[in-house]
Structure 1
């Protein structure tokens, strides 16, 4: 199964952490899509869950790295690899679930589905994510797809709150493997067909330049990524995440960095980028 190439957009480029204006604007759009007004708890989230969403007084960060050109099939994991809010990195998972549904029906994505999928990944469009979240069947549809993709610790967000999906860095490596890793001989047929995998990779390599921070900080070249950021109304603190495939030192790495509890988005971005660099350096030494 193959798909028409998405319309060309500007190639991925790094943006300085200090470029807060564009990111803050995008973050506020995400906030409006995912959260209630500041005085209210997140709709659809039980009060107990909302109150304990960020039980730590200090920021947390977890990173997982898998060297695709190394001998091990296990990622190097650093930090507290317990569940974190996904924010917009869940959009990769939504697209994978959509593609599995299309594969099951023996068809490519429709023109309408492509028109939603492309801005959802390339520009982190929330309205497109809302529509495709409904199309895949919300959290139950996401979790059914994840069982096929090999994810074990990802729980879909309540109701329409896809950004409050919970995941671990290890599970994000599992998702990235389903997209980027070459099938092993005798390992069975991958859940995502080759055309589906190429389509996701293409969109991840065309992320808008102002959203190309995160795991790209550890890359020398050839970055394909998706980032997520969300200011929680219950705490006023930021979830900032980045996942993708990078190339460094001649090796291809899958990298997932999840964080929460940052006072500002820029602080979260800086923490994620430091963690990505440290994790890739550690994996290179392993």
Structure 2
């Protein structure tokens, strides 16, 4: 059912999507697509997780500058802030080190300093969401609370993507026009509440002819993923494609 609806998106718009969705209460999950995608600004959550892991290792909280820079990076998706924190974590090597701790096995950091060209899969980003929101995580409660707070205060003009699947959300989006093809990579991930349940949801996409078309495709995929998972009895965990 999900595969059919996502194929319809590709036929209509040319956008190719990968989806990962989890209902953490009972463990139901679905995965569609194993291809690698460019993260664009989606990696900013990963950068912040790496910064927090480093601070935990040093047995300290974030400095005032780190916290305010992280807030700008997540809430406003500010690239200068991401540049500064990318350097702070040690660039691509620092991200790779953190990802080993976080359990991300298929994510490759972008070439320094191009953090937006980090490559990942929907399954890996679902693992990152689990680290951000689950109690059993390398991130301590204070670190998780900080990321969750920032993801719940996204600037109003960036309230799109997985938020289309629920009434309450915490999210981060990413978008990038690929210069060689003039096509867009549009991504969204987060925690949404819908139909009395909570879902962790990742939508990665590439090949959209405009940003608006890509957002439409991501939101259609998000709504379809939640609908399909609600119709799947636990503990079935389908690998849809």
TM over 0.5: yes
Report the count of equivalent residues: 220
Confirm or deny: 8 A CA contact 2:21 2:201 kept in the other structure.
yes
Find the counterpart in structure 2 of residue 132 from structure 1: 85
Moved more, 120-129 or 62-71: 62-71
Which ranges in structure 1 are unaligned for 5 or more consecutive residues? 1-56, 184-189
Aligned pairs for 1:61-140 (under 5 A) are 61-72=17-28, 75-78=29-32, 80-140=33-93
1:29 is matched with none
1:1-286 matches, within 5 Å, as 58-72=14-28, 75-78=29-32, 80-183=33-136, 190-219=137-166, 221-286=167-232
**1:167–1:71 Cα change, 3 Å:** closer
Tell me, what secondary structure is at the counterpart of 1:81?
coil
Conservation of the 8 A alpha-carbon contact between 1:68 and 1:251: no
1:242–1:272 contact (8 Å) kept in structure 2: yes
What is the CA–CA distance in structure 2 between the aligned matches of 1:208 and 1:62, rounded to whole Å? 25
SS for the counterpart of 2:113 is coil
CA contact (8 A) 1:218 1:280 kept: yes
Q: How far has the Cα of 1:253 moved from its partner? A: 0.3
Moved over 4 A (4+): none
- Give the conservation status (yes or no) of the 8 Å contact 2:111–2:117: yes
1:14-57 superposed Cα distances (whole Å, 9 cap, x missing partner) = xxxxxxxxxxxxxxxxxxxxxxxxxxxxxxxxxxxxxxxxxxx9
- TM-score for the superposition, normalised by structure 1: 0.75
Task: Give structure 2 stretches of 5+ with no counterpart.
Answer: 1-12, 233-241
